[in-house]
Structure 1
């Protein structure tokens, strides 16, 4: 079901429930008022009969004539019956009145009270105990409130017709207001439908910038911005990757073609094969780095508690073996006051974390002219911090802004081994572990790489 139809249906049901409840209250109030008003009129008629018949002694002469009996009736279809204390009928307003119900009520009589009762169909009545000259008389008066029931029936019909009309108007109003409320959503949907991979630069209108729909458009625009950056980064990555892969492939192909065409002796063939092998190794290393970068963006293995100090020590061992003439130092900073045995535990994957730290140490050892400092410490009660400090040539602000782009290489990296994939790979590994990587550098002053990771 469409949201518009759902809103209209819920709005209609809500308004209908309010209308029916209010109408039921009005009908019940009027019905109660009618019953009380008619009961009061019956009680007045019973009091009038007691004064005209009992007090004046008219009962002593027996039943009055038909003319006299009709003269005291004030209500439609009114019937009056009067009994003495012994249960004998002393007066009736008509000779054909069924006295069986009245005699039955005498047995459950409550002296001193005006007792209402129900008769056949819509006949209503009251019983009155009247004391005169020390003798109790019991007066029963009943009648039909035809005008009251007629007004109540008209009120019910009016409420029914009014509710049906209000229901039709509510449906129309719900349809209109649901459409008006969802109009911005429809506009956002139309705008989003015109956005594709070829025009990610488009943005949704944020309306007044304050309501929930504006917040939705703002979030969608932020997602579009991220997608646009991702697409641009992907295109840049593909362009750089194709260029980087083309160079060793061209070298390999050219070397083999030259060897096939011109090499006539074994030494010449061996030299060509050595060049081809070097190009093949270069191509293999570049392909492995690209695959590692793609692997980090995919599904990672389940994280387990890992000792970060062991990962750092292993990365330092690899770096010292690769750069035998470079000094790598390890220092420990501030630790928690209540230090435990496994104080450097973090949730993650040991192999990936070692790779990330090795990339930072590899960059420092590659460019630093002096010793490389690695520092492991706590920054706050639940955050571990690793710093790798070198005294290399440093990076300019322009180079720092591109340092995380895959296959990007700074000016100082020209002629040095590498493919520009170490830092992008490290950044993604750290981010996948819930951490953060920052590089601070200045030309001629070295570079400091800082990693923050959540402690276990």
Structure 2
């Protein structure tokens, strides 16, 4: 069911409930008023008849009937019956026939109650006790209120027709106004439906920019900006990854084809195999880096975490890097400002944190052309800071904004080995641990990279 239809029905149900309650109240009050007013007229008729018949000596039963027959009364088919209290005998009956059946039970109730109301079929009646000095009489007056009942039925019919008409009108107007109110949402849906992967630059109309629908459009546009940026990064990633994978594969293929063109001596085959091995290692390194980036995209809560001593991890990384690259010159400085009773640890994934040290040190050494690289570990009150300084080729200021993009490489780094993944991977891992990374670089002078890691995240 559409929101517009549901809102209209809910509004009609609310209005209908109010109208039903109001109609029931009106009908109940009207019915009660008719009953009280008719009872009051019966009481007056009963008392007046009793007074004339009992208090006025000149009036007997026959004269009283003549008076009743000639006197205009608003009561239809009225009948008055008077009983002697002690003898229980009927001393007067108006009319030729008795329409009201007076039982012993009714007589007994009239003697013990000053006044009570009852009904027999369509006739409504009242019984009361009339006293004249020492004499007491029981008087019953009854009549049919066809006029009052007819008016009450007409009122019920009018209320029902008004109720149905009001509910119908409420549904129609509710549909109209809900359609008008939700039209901006329909426009947003129409605009969103036209946005595809090929036109992510398109935006939704934000309307007046202040109401709820405008805020929805603004939020959706902000999401589109993030999606567009993610698509651009993905396209760039796929393009660069394809290029980086194609280069070693093309080299391997061409070398094999050349080697198979003619028979060669063992030394030439050995040379080809060594070259193929370098390309295979480069391809393996690239694949490993891509896998590490995928791992860094995970939620930190899905990874195995533990307290990690960064100083031990840094020294371990230094040993491993120097073992693979004896030509690297790495200086380690650890500045421990923490409380002696508190171990300087970071709560995180040890393997991912180790990748930060490995990539920082390897990048710095790779672009320093044999110059010393300094790695400094500091423990601040709220976080650990890893600083790596080199005296290498540096990065130009106009390219520093893009160096964290996967596979992006600065112009002066093209001739150096690598794939442009290291800094992107470091940033992702730092962010995953609630940290951040900054870079300060001057072209042809060197680069300083700082990674901030909070102790708990």
Is TM-score (shorter-chain normalized) higher than 0.5? yes
- d(CA) in 1 for partners of 2:57, 2:172: 70
- Cα distance, 1:78 vs structure 2: 0.8
Aligned pairs (5 A) from 1:199-278: 199-261=199-261, 264-278=264-278
TM-aligned CA distance change 1:55 to 1:365, over 3 Å:
farther
**For residue 327 of structure 1, what is the aligned residue in structure 2?**
331
Q: Does 1:387 align with 2:385?
A: yes
Note if contact 2:111-2:138 (Cα within 8 Å) is conserved in structure 1.
no
Tell me the equivalent position of 2:325.
none
* Offset, 1:285: 1.1
Q: CA–CA distance in 2 between the matches of 1:103 and 1:70?
A: 28
- CA gap 1:128/1:109 in 2 versus in 1, 3 angstroms: closer
Partners of 1:265 and 1:99 in 2: how far apart?
A: 138
Instruction: Tell me the equivalent position of 2:283.
Output: 283
Deviates more, 1:318-327 or 1:360-369: 360-369
Cα distance, 1:126 vs structure 2: 1.9
Matched residue, 1:420: 420
Deviations 1:390-412 (A, max 9, x none): 33355454333112100112355
Structure 1's 26 and 344: CA in aligned 2 closer, same or farther, altered over 3 A? farther
Q: Does 1:134 align with 2:134?
A: yes
Q: Shift of residue 307 of structure 1?
A: 0.8
Q: Equivalent residue of 1:441, what SS?
A: strand
Q: Is the 8 A contact 2:346 2:453 kept in 1?
A: no
Deviates further, 292-301 or 220-229: 292-301
SS at match of 1:204: coil
Indicate the RMSD between aligned Cα atoms, in angstroms: 3.0
* Match of residue 37 from structure 1: 37
The 3-state SS of whatever aligns with 2:246 is helix
Match of 2:352 in 1: 352
For residues 316-344 of structure 1, give each alpha carbon's deviation from its aligned partner in whole angstroms, at most 9, with x where no partner exists: 41234314631222334456x9x777x84
- Hey, what does 1:402 align to over in structure 2? 402
SS at match of 2:13: helix
CA change 1:41–1:249 in 2 (3 A) is same
Deviation at 1:113, TM superposition (A): 3.5
**Aligned-pair CA distance for 1:76:** 0.8
Q: Distance in 2 between matches of 1:304 and 1:282?
A: 29
Secondary structure (helix, strand or coil) at the match of 2:109 reads coil
Tell me how far 1:66 sits from its aligned partner. Answer: 4.0
Question: Is the 8 Å Cα contact of residues 396 and 441 (structure 1) preserved in structure 2?
Answer: no
> What is the SS of the residue equivalent to 1:116?
strand
Tell me the equivalent position of 2:98.
Answer: 97
Query: Scaled by the length of structure 1, what TM-score is found?
Result: 0.86
Supply the distance in 1 between the matched residues of 2:128 and 2:286 (Cα, whole angstroms).
112
Q: Higher mean Cα deviation, 220-229 or 81-90?
A: 81-90
Structure 2 residue 376 is matched with structure 1 residue 373:
yes
Gaps of 5+ in 2: 323-327
Unaligned ranges ≥5, structure 1: 380-384
Deviation of 1:373 (Å) = 0.7
Q: CA deviation at 1:72?
A: 5.5
Label 1:123 to 1:313 Cα distance change in 2 as closer, same or farther (>3 A). farther
What is the Cα deviation at residue 367 of structure 1?
5.4
TM-score after normalising by structure 2: 0.86
Is the contact between residue 430 and residue 437 of structure 2 (CA under 8 Å) also seen in structure 1?
no
Q: Deviations over 1:253-311 (max 9, x none)?
A: 3433444447743333322322222122112211221232234446888344411326x
